Structure 1
């Protein structure tokens, strides 16, 4: 059953982005052409935004209780980032579609014109994208289930809490802490709030999965495209032992030059869409890691520690995979210059050597993804985020 479902997500017109397009379309991240359904999806998105606003209001309401504030901040920061991701995608829908169209067309071109070596590269990054996409779906699903079930499991695992709830000394165990215009601690308001929270958590988690997996797949494609350009640059002066004419070298040079310029153009468009979101994401992840670490050290229940550890791993995994994949693209971009020098340039004539030097000069333009104007998305940045979170944690403990 699972295999059939995964196979149904494949699309021969979107051989790389098939599952990602499916979830973006299903969640309304990619708005439909029909105006009625477009309005419906926009309303649903803004209901999620309204829910996040009520979470922020609740933080102000319970500001005198430090433990409650930290718990609310932990969930609210993730909710805020989900809303920022989805709304930024909606507001820049046309520009995002340009990036998606480029990835689809460039990937299809490479598949049509592949040879054995380039085919292996394409198969490798396609399999990687599928693993990351499906693993992220599972990981987000587990996280959402964990968040939804935490109050119930805490209720079942803590005898003192159950007794306190029965005698009225403990409040109703809600999934999230959000402000409501009615009494949320007594029926029917309590159960209305539970259903509302479940819907918002499930839909919000789906939006995050759709956004994150699509971004990672696009980043991986840019890295794969750089590998393909490097392989083709090795043959710019002809196959080993087989010299080609100056005109043929010039034609191949123009083709590679054009593809590299298009890659840089689209990567910069992609970065202009991603960078502001990543800037806020890095800052909020630092605060979130700090909040979760503080709760881990003060938690007394084994169940609570387990759920906090899962949530901590979720935050770490999200920011790590962004930095890892972006760092991989940067490394491959730097290595691209080696492509022309890996050809048989020593056996070429002076004019062909000049062409190879021109191509190497073009390849020096690097593909870099950033988190705002201050930092690149790289592994050193990830380490800095973790160090910063620990510093905030130490300050909070004091």
Structure 2
């Protein structure tokens, strides 16, 4: 599991072991571009207070980009903690509790590990596709809007993927250059979102599966047949209590590490989601009000 999550971070150039990798330096360049575009977005936000539609677009796009920046910063600042998480997960997977010599079905422990591993693989398969589909819609929507304006013979404007302030609006070279770097920045933000969210979900699912295994093994401390008692059974039960307790301590430490790298991001997520919901509600209300006025003329 740790290798699958680590692979996603390496693709985003955010893993410490990839310091000499070309992907790492490309990620540095894309991050620099993203910071510049974020500054242009903030400028556009402040000069658009008189235009409600543009202001809401700025808030929506800026929240998507700012969350990507926060995830990059979080991954870079907490890279040591992520290393610790993945190394501990690898150690726990290699030293997992299995049959415990209690005449338990041999496939039980393997089945539990296989279940959460398959869940993680499904997430690795489908979650990036969902992000890329949503990102594709996000990237292509300005060009689709340009096409609609062209067929309806409406005034045309340069289609910008990110709602940014353009210093020379009438200069074709400036607009084309900005559109290209916006495309690169948008793709990088999607990759960062995938790397962070997949890694976080993979760790959460692993911990859920490990807690399920711990519960099952704890319930079986006394063995399957409680009617018989023997010294060997008591010795095995004592050894299993120690093993389960150590397993619990390991999971508790893992949970603290995960909480330390996610608590700030999750708090910002809640605020950004609330802001986007409010902005969407305002936009829908205004659109309905305009439609109502036009239909009653």
**TM (normalized to structure 1)?**
0.65
With 29-38 and 54-63 compared, the bigger mean Cα shift is at 29-38
Q: Please say if 1:228 is aligned against 2:213.
A: yes
Provide the C-alpha distance between the structure 1 equivalents of 2:286 and 2:90, rounded to a whole number of angstroms: 49
Q: What are the equivalent positions in structure 2 for 1:326-341 lying under 5 Å apart?
A: none
Provide the C-alpha distance between the structure 2 equivalents of 1:187 and 1:63, rounded to a whole number of angstroms: 26
Q: 1:158 to 1:42 in 2, by over 3 A?
A: closer
Alpha-carbon distance, 1:107 to partner: 2.3
Instruction: Tell me what 1:129 maps to.
Output: 120
Q: Please say if 1:212 is aligned against 2:197.
A: yes
Deviations 1:368-395 (A, max 9, x none): xxxxxxxxxxxxxxxxxxxxxxxxxxxx
Q: What are the equivalent positions in structure 2 for 1:185-200 lying under 5 Å apart?
A: 185-200=170-185
Of residues 273, 278, 281, the one that matches 2:261 is 273
Instruction: Tell me what 2:93 maps to.
Output: 107
Instruction: Extract unaligned runs of 5+ from structure 1.
Output: 1-15, 166-170, 301-398
Q: Please say if 1:154 is aligned against 2:145.
A: yes
Deviations 1:177-235 (A, max 9, x none): 1234x414431111111111110000110100110011011101110000000111122
Alpha-carbon distance, 1:299 to partner: 5.2
Provide the C-alpha distance between the structure 1 equivalents of 2:284 and 2:199, rounded to a whole number of angstroms: 31
CA root-mean-square deviation: 2.3
Instruction: Tell me what 2:168 maps to.
Output: 183
Alpha-carbon distance, 1:65 to partner: 1.1
Instruction: Extract unaligned runs of 5+ from structure 2.
Output: 101-105, 289-297
Q: What are the equivalent positions in structure 2 for 1:1-398 lying under 5 Å apart?
A: 16-35=1-20, 38=24, 41-110=27-96, 115-159=106-150, 162-165=153-156, 171-180=157-166, 182-241=167-226, 243=229, 244-298=232-286
Provide the C-alpha distance between the structure 1 equivalents of 2:32 and 2:90, rounded to a whole number of angstroms: 29
Q: 1:125 to 1:288 in 2, by over 3 A?
A: same
Aligned length: 279
Contact 1:111 1:119 in 2 (8 A): no
Q: 1:262 to 1:207 in 2, by over 3 A?
A: same
Provide the C-alpha distance between the structure 1 equivalents of 2:34 and 2:16, rounded to a whole number of angstroms: 16
Alpha-carbon distance, 1:257 to partner: 0.6
Contact 1:28 1:41 in 2 (8 A): yes
